[in-house]
Structure formats: structure tokens, C-alpha cells
Amino acid sequence: MVLTTSCAPQGSTSQGREISSLYDIFLWIAAGVFLVTAGLIAWSIIRYRAKPGDDDLPEQFHQNLKLEVTWFAIPQILVVVLFVLSAFALNEVNEESPEPDAVVDVTGFQWGWRFTYDGSGKEVVGTPQEPAKVLVPVGNVSFVLTSADVVHSFYVPDFLIKRDAVPGRDTRIDVNVDAGVYDGVCAEFCGLLHARMPFTIEAVSQEAFQQWLQEPPEGVARGDG
Ligand SMILES: [Cu+2]
């Protein structure tokens, strides 16, 4: 049986699934800590409550070396284990693909996103009235993020990864994406129309992607561009 945090997205990229399984480990360890702690508190309350006629103080003592070592050691071990697992997951998520199937330059601006595709001249610009809808191929996709004005944040919830788009700096995230349609938003308050900069990324086959790259911009196709 696979135990997962059912209400959280499971991730539609291999990096997202890495993060999702890390969440699950954290959740189950936290649940275990809660049950043990709450259980011991409940047991102590019931076991040691004053009974009628129990008017004397019980034996008073301080220091119990075994107990103190135990409650120091268990959290230390948990922190070290979670730290190591997180470091491994972070490494995997930040790893750059040596030969991505597509490189997409993404520029956030007030208020929308510009997607340009390396070497093809393809460009899609979203606006608050018409958010960007772009295609990527299934497989390794490299997003190179930057901003034209203030700090924006490129967030596709299904990818389980969020990265800032910072003016004057390129930030790269590589994902190995499954086929599907994924909605994204700006996750950094960047001005009045911050909420009006959603975008959609559709991951399709390499052939369909290549075909889309060749298509002229919509306005030109209709002859009114
Ligand atoms: Cu923004």
C-alpha cells in the first residue's frame, strides 16, 4: 500500500515526485512524533492524577539521565535523517539536464509572462486579458527565468516547484515533465494586477511540439497582425 498525503498534488515531473515523497516522509514522521508525545501526555495525566485521599506530595526528584539522553537523542536523529533526505531531494531537484529537449526563456513582467524558445524565434506573450498558453515537449524541459521589472515568481503547482524571476538575473529550473496541461501563476506579489498573470503549459509529444514551434503567430496567420 502506498501511503501518500492524498490532498497534496503528487507532482507531474520527476522532480515533483521527489518532493512529494519527501513531504510524505515528513508527514508520517510528524504524525509519529505527535502520537507518541500526545500519548505520553495522556498516559501521564491518567496514570498520575491525584486520587481521593492522596494528600501527600509524591517522591520529589530531578535528573533522570536515561530519560534525558533519550529525549535528546531521538529528535537529533530525526533532524539529521530529515536533513540528509532533504539534501538528496534538493540535489535532484536542482540538477540541470545536460541536453534538455527544450529550452524556454521565461520573462515575467507587470503583468504577464513572455515565453521565447531558443533558436526557433517562437515567442508567446501573455497579458491580463489573454494569458499565455504555451507548449513544451514531454521530457526534460529547461526554463530560464528572469524579469523585466520587479520580482515575480514562476509557479506551476503541479510541478511542485516555485522559483523567483529576478530582474537582471537568469534562474534556471529543469523539469522532466509528463504529458498534461498545467496551470501556472505568479506567486510573488508584484503589483495591482499580480493576480491576473496566470499561464498554461501543455506538455505534448516532441512531434506536436515541433509542429507548434513552426506555426506562425496567431495574428499573422489571420492576416491582421
Ligand atoms: Cu508577478
- pLDDT at residue 188 greater than cutoff 60: yes
Q: At 130, list the grid cell.
A: 489573454
Residue pLDDT, tens place only, 89-111: 999 999 999 999 999 999 999 99
Residue pLDDT, tens place only, 108-155: 999 999 999 988 889 999 999 999 999 999 999 999 999 999 999 999
C-alpha 187 – ligand 1 centre gap (Å): 7
* Res 7: pLDDT: 64
Residues with CB under 5 A from ligand 1 (ion): 152, 186, 190
* Res 216: pLDDT: 76
C-alpha 196 – ligand 1 centre gap (Å): 9
C-alpha 165 – ligand 1 centre gap (Å): 9
User: Of residues 183 and 221, which shows the higher confidence score?
Assistant: 183
C-alpha 188 – ligand 1 centre gap (Å): 6
Q: Are 199 and 132 in contact (CB under 8 A)?
A: yes
* Res 224: pLDDT: 42
Residue pLDDT, tens place only, 2-57: 455 556 677 889 999 999 999 999 999 999 999 999 999 999 999 988 888 888 88
C-alpha 3 – ligand 1 centre gap (Å): 35
C-alpha 194 – ligand 1 centre gap (Å): 5
C-alpha 63 – ligand 1 centre gap (Å): 55
C-alpha 38 – ligand 1 centre gap (Å): 43
The vertex-119 CA angle with 113 and 123, nearest 5°, equals 25
For β-strands 152-156 and 180-186, DSSP reports them as: antiparallel
Give the start-to-end residue ranges of the domains of the chain: 14-50+60-94, 102-220
3-state secondary structure of 141: strand
Which CATH entry fits the domain spanning 14-50+60-94: 3.10.20.30, 3.40.50.800, 3.40.50.300, 1.10.287.90?
1.10.287.90
Which residues have CB under 8 Å from 161's CB, separation 6+? Answer: 13, 15, 16, 19, 93, 173, 175
* Res 4: pLDDT: 55
Q: Do domains 14-50+60-94 and 102-220 have the same CATH topology?
A: no
C-alpha 67 – ligand 1 centre gap (Å): 51
- pLDDT at residue 1 greater than cutoff 50: no
C-alpha 60 – ligand 1 centre gap (Å): 61
C-alpha 124 – ligand 1 centre gap (Å): 17
C-alpha 94 – ligand 1 centre gap (Å): 23
3-state secondary structure of 55: coil
Q: Which CATH class is domain 102-220?
A: mainly beta
* Res 6: pLDDT: 54
* Per-residue pLDDT band at 222 (split at 50, 70, 90): very low
